[in-house]
Chain A
């Protein structure tokens, strides 16, 4: 890409074709992003080794890795990660199903929207964590209250996303379905579902993100296992390396579940006209 402003202005299309980093190879972009964290990590490791810091409050990467490996070896990490994952999946499942149903009916029917949406919006205005005491009173301290809290967190983005998507389905495309005399069910399957799918995937992903956020809150309210428990435990016993290891596990598992959602839905969204990095 030329740096001369004139060339850039005249040939924007040609400029877009090339990778953003100009003449560098394709891996250079991601590698550039890794530069800062890697430098910090290596720098901190060296600083601790050199004795400039004792690394007690901020453990160096080697200690975090060792803690991680130890937790993994004893099977503790897997046990806690699975407990957390199970809670997220249960809450996500419930939140997605209810959010989809409510979003679909309120998006479809103006009467149901006028009936339900104000109440749901009012509930949404309450910070979800504020429900915790009530959920514990109602559902006890164990799984039910945790899963409920996560489900509440997942519900709202899914509900809003689905309602918006259904409401904004292009009337002109629905008319195409009518011209071809689709029945109600065919209309849903052949027109409405594909039309809302892109927005639905976005709603699912933000719901999942909130699910991961809320599982931490849920596990803070008292849990004997789960990655959130590892966090609290690490704090109470003064083990910062364990806290960081749990955070890393959260990041890795959370991102992986997001990739899974994207990967499972990608085949249905190939038609979408999205600006993609680096061509096909």
Chain B
């Protein structure tokens, strides 16, 4: 169980990026976080990952305070961030340096097989496509078997085909160990396809605005009416989250019926 207890972050330059964020995420739950640009989503994720320390509040994993990067918490960034001097296999096994070689090789081979890149094991990262590189990054984050996996817009740099492909793929991988997933995204469809729960954040200062349960049956059909219904709710919440933050109180110009897959 991951608990965020009144988490706040004020950067040294005085920006209140996050305020009073309280939530708990159960084991194996998939939580999506959406919200306007600059509303503190990355700040939140970095605090949970232990890369940054919150200025207020605490983050608890199974009752233990997270202050630094934690063995049971993995993170996938927007960019693959592969180490260019290691082969694909070397990158995937990066977190297993302290394990016996045989075990490491077996786990790396297994992870690569599961992201469908076995034949790329001995290739340099620069020889991969963007989608392949991000799959390697996913494999690298999953190999240490984290209890919590954080994803900060993991697919936003990819084209629409690769993106839906990797979304489905992520669910397959998740089904194996069922880690807690926290996914930050700008893509409402992505949030709805993947998540059990969608949190909408509001900017300045970044805080929780609304929470929408997403209990559509899996596997989810992106074309179904039920999907559209959830999507409309999320888009409405997003509009209101922005309107609330505006002095004129008017909603942003955006139409839930336009069917736009991306919400910025």
Which residues of A come within 8 Å of B, CB atoms? 172-173, 175-176, 178-181, 186, 190-191, 194-195, 197, 268, 270-273
Q: Counting CB contacts under 8 A, is B83 at the interface?
A: yes
Known: A194-B85, A271-B124. A179 touches B49 (CB 8 A): yes
With A172-B77, A273-B126 given, is the CB distance from A178 to B83 under 8 Å?
A: no
- Scan B82-101; emit 1 where CB is below 8 A from any A CB, else 0: 01111000000011010000
Q: How far is the CA of A270 from the CA of B123 in the complex (A)?
A: 11
When chains A and B are docked, how far (Å) is the Cα of A180 from the Cα of B95?
Answer: 6
Q: Is the CB of A179 within 8 A of B69?
A: yes
Q: Is the CB of A175 within 8 A of B83?
A: no
Q: Is the CB of B51 within 8 A of A179?
A: yes
Distance of A185 from chain B, by nearest CB (Å): 12
User: Complex Cα distance A270/B87, Å?
Assistant: 10
Most buried by B among A173, A180, A268: A180
Given A181-B68, A181-B71, A176 and B126 contact (CB-CB distance below 8 Å):
no
Is B196 interfacial (CB-CB < 8 Å)? no
Q: Is the CB of B68 within 8 A of A179?
A: no
Q: How far is the CA of A273 from the CA of B84 in the complex (A)?
A: 9
Q: Which of B32-86 contact A (CB under 8 A)?
A: 49, 51, 68-71, 74-75, 77, 79, 81, 83-86
A108 and B217 alpha carbons, distance in the complex (Å): 52
Chain A residue nearest to B87 (CB atoms) is A271
CB contact under 8 A between A175 and B81, given known A180-B95, A181-B71: yes
Which residues of chain A have C-beta atoms less than 8 A from B125's C-beta? 271
Are A176 and B81 in contact, with the CB atoms below 8 A?
yes
Would you call B94 and A180 a contact (CB within 8 A)?
yes
Cβ-closest chain B residue relative to A193 = B85
Point out which of A172, A181, A194 has the most chain B C-beta atoms below 10 A from its C-beta.
A181
C-alpha spacing A186/B97, complex, angstroms? 10
Complex-state Cα separation, A186 to B94, whole angstroms = 12
Given contacts A173-B81, A181-B71, 6 further A-B contacts (CB under 8 A): A175-B51, A176-B83, A179-B49, A179-B51, A194-B83, A272-B84
Bound Cα distance A173, B74 (Å):
15
| Assembled-state Cα–Cα distance A196/B207 (Å) | 40
Instruction: Give the shortest distance, in Å, between A76 (CB) and chain B (any CB).
Output: 46
- Which A-chain residue is minimally distant from B46 (CB atoms)? A175
A-B contact pairs, 28 of them (CB 8 A): A172-B79, A172-B81, A173-B81, A173-B83, A175-B77, A175-B81, A176-B81, A176-B83, A176-B94, A178-B69, A179-B69, A179-B75, A180-B94, A180-B95, A180-B144, A181-B68, A181-B69, A181-B70, A181-B71, A197-B85, A271-B84, A271-B85, A271-B86, A271-B124, A271-B125, A272-B84, A273-B84, A273-B124
Beta-carbon nearest neighbor of B68 in chain A:
A181
Task: Please report which residues of chain B, range 143-166, place their CB below 8 angstroms from some CB of chain A when the two chains form the complex.
Answer: 144
- In the bound complex, how far is the Cα of B91 from the Cα of A173, in angstroms? 12
A165 to B94 Cα, complex, angstroms = 23
